[in-house]
Amino acid sequence: MSLSRRRVVAAAAVVASAALALSACSGSSSSSESSSSSAPASDAPMAGTVTVHGSEPQNPLIPTNTNETGGGNIVDGMWTGLVSYGVEDGAPELAMAESIEGSADYKTWTIKIKPGWTFHDGTEVKAKNFVDAWNYGAFGPNAQLNQYFFSPDGLGIAGYDAVSAEDATVKEMSGLKVVDDYTFTVELSAPNSLFETIVGYTAFYPMPDSFFADPKAFEAKPIGNGPFQFVERVPSVSVDLMAYPDYKGDRKAKVENVQFKMYTSLDAAYADVVANNLDVLDSIPAQALAGNIWQTDLAGRFLEKPLSSVFQSISFPLYDAKFDSVDLRKAISQAIDRETVIDVAFAGTRVPADGWVPPGNDGYVAGVCGDACIFDPAKAKASLEAAGGFEGPLTLAYNADGGHKEWVDATCVSIKNTLGIDCQGKPFPEFGPFREEVTSKAMTGMFRTGWQADYPSIQNFLAPLYATGASANDGDYSNPAFDALIQEAVQVPAAEANVKYGEAESILATDMPVIPMWFGKFQGAWSDKVNEPVFNWQGRVDLPSLTLK
């Protein structure tokens, strides 16, 4: 999910090559381990509200149109998919699916869902609600951000091409068939060994009949099938959820209400969690990281641990001719002193990126970016000369509510000092408007991008971001050789697939459409009103596990 966003089957049912779970490392905390498992004495949620740090969603809360963390964190609390991902390691496990059975060639799949589950309006979730939602997401005129996931580069449902054009009139993919109320089949245009892992992602959530009757009306009060139901959204202020009492899943809400609070700056959110006016914070600002001030401010209520699911980058708008030169893009990358930037902005708590896939993921290749990701003023100047120079200013856009100013400013200083280019940060007040400018392909300079894995696979760090027309391909990058390798990889077992993914990542090193910056480390905090929250393999707070003291 682009950090700009927005995640399986019983072990016996998972194709071994598909379960590429991220490694999970236990973090050190100043509070006792047992506090995170505290729960009310009964199944009923505990009365009260837990407030969680949020960012303004880019769009209305529709799963097929949500691919960023602001909306994704909320949508994932409101919906449950066929498959869910283990809190600690992201391992796929059955959720709404009773079974998922695939053919030997990974092309034909039969899915049975559990009967008796209901949407928040009380209507039963049926097989058609999945099929209708997937067809809606793939239909070109609906212009959904997650349309890509139904394409050959995503899940690859047969008949996608007939429905995906902007002027398409065919509304249903031929590969989807409803067998009965609780069974449907999926035929793919090519084998996909990651099917069972991918179908847990947001784009594949079911939608109630009321959505299709009036999508616009649905936006005002979205209805999911998850542990929390929608109450109210006040733009740029908050989104309120409450526990759904008839939720049929195993992981029911333990608190009555959750409120996502929107902040104009990470510093303001941090001040509130220190003062116990915000209950859960999933990021720490630069000024608090310096000298480990945050650990003093938050003694007894903080957590720090490694993460293999987060990647931060800088993207180029390749639809703008001034960034056509690969030499220019490499010059800028070579001009960035990543270690100094990390020291200045994060007190050394990040790892300089040496590629586009974080360590800890199956298939990770160390140093794949090569010299292009190493700070070298001489090589940077030579690359700029080969590009024919650059007429500034050079802007780097970011959302000011996410704590990015310090690293953006430090990055621009490094570029300016090395290349003599006038680099300037370009802040957007909120995440939503910033992402709207990105997804509408309206950027005129560089812009900050990041990725928080949607599902546990190396494929998720490559295909959705860099395949032609992919949902999170923000810079509009396209290379047929890269696309071919991505499509070939999902048709073979893991060991063979990883070789192809490595080859695809090497193409990125040659083309440099996106500058790798760093890999993440997670820092979170909470108020003295709640027990220690559980932060999942993605670094997100696990909403069902939240408990009040």
Instruction: Identify the CATH number of the domain in which residue 215 sits.
Output: 3.40.190.10
With H, G, I as helix, E, B as strand and everything else as coil, classify residue 287.
helix
Q: How far apart are CA 299 and CA 498, in angstroms?
A: 42
Lowest mean pLDDT among 123-132, 142-151, 452-461: 452-461
Residue 93 lies in a domain: yes
Q: Could you tell me the CATH number of the domain that includes residue 472?
A: 3.10.105.10
Percent with pLDDT over 90 in the chain = 84
Whether 28 maps to a domain, the answer reads no
| Segment 335-341 mean pLDDT | 98
In 3D, which of 427, 385, 430 has the Cα closest to residue 406? 427
pLDDT band at 308 (very low <50, low <70, confident <90, very high): confident
Whether residue 31 is contained in a domain is answered as no
CA-CA distance, 524 to 518, in Å (whole number)?
A: 18
Both tokens assigned to 196: 């069972």
Question: What is the length of the chain?
Answer: 549
Average pLDDT across the chain, whole number = 91
Q: Is 120 in the same domain as 238?
A: yes
Residues 248, 317 within the same domain: no
The domain in which residue 240 lies consists of 11-15+36-255+527-545
pTM: 0.84
The answer to whether residue 339 is domain-embedded is yes
Intra-chain end-to-end CA distance of the chain, in Å: 32
Residue 400 DSSP SS3: helix
pLDDT tens-digit series, residues 397-442: 999 998 899 999 999 999 999 999 999 999 999 999 999 999 999 9
In a domain, 90, yes or no: yes
Counting the structural domains of the chain, the total is: 2
Does 268 map to a domain?
Answer: no
Same domain, 488 and 541: no
Q: Find out whether 470 and 22 touch, Cβ atoms under 8 Å.
A: no
Ranges of beta strands (E only) in 346-393 are 351-352
Question: How far apart are alpha carbons 543 and 39 in whole angstroms?
Answer: 13
Q: Are residues 238 and 324 in the same domain?
A: no
Instruction: Please state, in angstroms and rounded to a whole number, the distance separating the CA atoms of residues 123 and 212.
Output: 14
Average pLDDT over residues 359-377: 94
Same domain, 514 and 535: no
* Distance of alpha carbon 491 from alpha carbon 469, whole angstroms: 20
Partnered with residue 238 across adjacent β-strands are 234, 261
Are 107 and 188 within 8 A, CB to CB?
yes
Task: Note whether 212 and 348 are same-domain residues.
Answer: no
Same domain, 206 and 231: yes
Provide the pLDDT confidence category of residue 454 given band limits of 50, 70 and 90.
confident
234 and 347 share one domain: no
The residue among 396 and 495 whose pLDDT is bigger is 396
Predicted pLDDT at 146: 96
Task: Note the pLDDT of residue 1.
Answer: 57
- 480 and 534 within one domain: no
Q: Supply the pLDDT for residue 42.
A: 57
Q: Are residues 365 and 499 both part of a single domain?
A: yes
Residue 270 lies in a domain: no
Could you tell me if 387 and 511 lie in one domain?
A: yes
DSSP structure string for 156-185: -BTTHHHHHSTT----S-TTEEEEETTEEE
Mean pLDDT, range 139-144, rounded to an integer: 97
Categorize the per-residue pLDDT at 49 as very low, low, confident or very high, splitting at 50, 70 and 90: very high
Same domain, 231 and 325: no
Cα separation values, 422 from 330, 425, 449, 513, 547, Å? 17, 10, 21, 21, 49
Task: Give the tokens for residue 245.
Answer: 């009492």
C-alpha distances out from residue 315 to 377, 449, 477, 493, Å: 21, 6, 10, 31
- 320 CB neighbour count, 10 Å cutoff: 14
* pLDDT at residue 35 tops 90: no
In a domain, 288, yes or no: no
